[in-house]
Chains A and B, each alone.
Chain A
Amino acid sequence: NAGVTQTPKFQVLKTGQSMTLQCAQDMNHEYMSWYRQDPGMGLRLIHYSVGAGITDQGEVPNGYNVSRSTTEDFPLRLLSAAPSQTSVYFCASSSWTGNTEAFFGQGTRLTVV
């Protein structure tokens, strides 16, 4: 009964370093997405995918890359970390229709120094 699993839970990066945040879901959901959560701003959509091989940009995509080679996995890559990317990142998945709920991972707290 795993749901959405994110790793790591915490990460500290130096400016300019790269890293990949992992996200996996076991519910066979078509739709997966990445959000960042910043104080007073709610959750903002970074990238999303509607199925394997299909990705698109959300509201704040700059500095991030994604790919979706399988239904289960949707990694988020930071190409060259910047202090402005210090945030809490959440991965979510849902089935296709808009009326169903999104399931969230527990989040990754990233600090860029």
Chain B
Amino acid sequence: GDSVTQMEGPVTLSEEAFLTINCTYTATGYPSLFWYVQYPGEGLQLLLKATKADDKGSNKGFEATYRKETTSFHLEKGSVQVSDSAVYFCALSLLSGGYNKLIFGAGTRLAVHP
């Protein structure tokens, strides 16, 4: 079935370090791919998205490229800040059975220390 697999956390980094959070997916059809971020005590909010192969989504210094050949959508940031500490969710979306099916990974907690 359709699924999303993320690297397990927590990921602990020092400020200004490079971040990679791995995400791979399994899907029938052609999904759109998303990264959502959840700050403490809040709901999820969209960080970036890509709707077709080779698209690059970017926002707030974060980037992810839709790689169809490796079924991956890894999240990267060149220099993290303490304010990036949050839980990051990779997700895919596709139309299935007549509805918008959104499937999430388990989430990866990021902690950035000064």
| Chain A contact residues, CB within 8 Å of chain B | 4, 6, 31, 33, 35, 40-43, 45, 48, 50, 56, 90, 92, 94, 96-99, 101-102, 104-107
Q: A98-B93, A98-B94, A99-B32 are in contact. Are A105 and B100 (CB under 8 A)?
A: no
Top 9 A-B residue pairs of the complex, sorted by shortest distance between their CB atoms: A104-B43, A42-B104, A101-B46, A42-B106, A43-B104, A104-B44, A98-B93, A106-B43, A98-B95
Give Cα A45 to B105, complex, Å: 12
For B106, the chain A residues whose CB sits under 8 A away are 40-42
Give Cα A107 to B43, complex, Å: 6
A45: nearest chain-B partner, CB-CB: B102
> B55-114: which residues lie under 8 A (CB-CB) from chain A?
89, 93-95, 98-102, 104-107
Q: Tell me, rounded to whole Å, the shortest Cβ–Cβ distance linking B18 to chain A.
A: 25
For A40, the chain B residues whose CB sits under 8 A away are 106
Q: Tell me, rounded to whole Å, the shortest Cβ–Cβ distance linking B100 to chain A.
A: 5
Q: Tell me, rounded to whole Å, the shortest Cβ–Cβ distance linking A46 to chain B.
A: 13
| 0/1 string, B35-56, CB within 8 A of A gives 1 | 0100001111110010100000
Q: Tell me, rounded to whole Å, the shortest Cβ–Cβ distance linking A28 to chain B.
A: 15
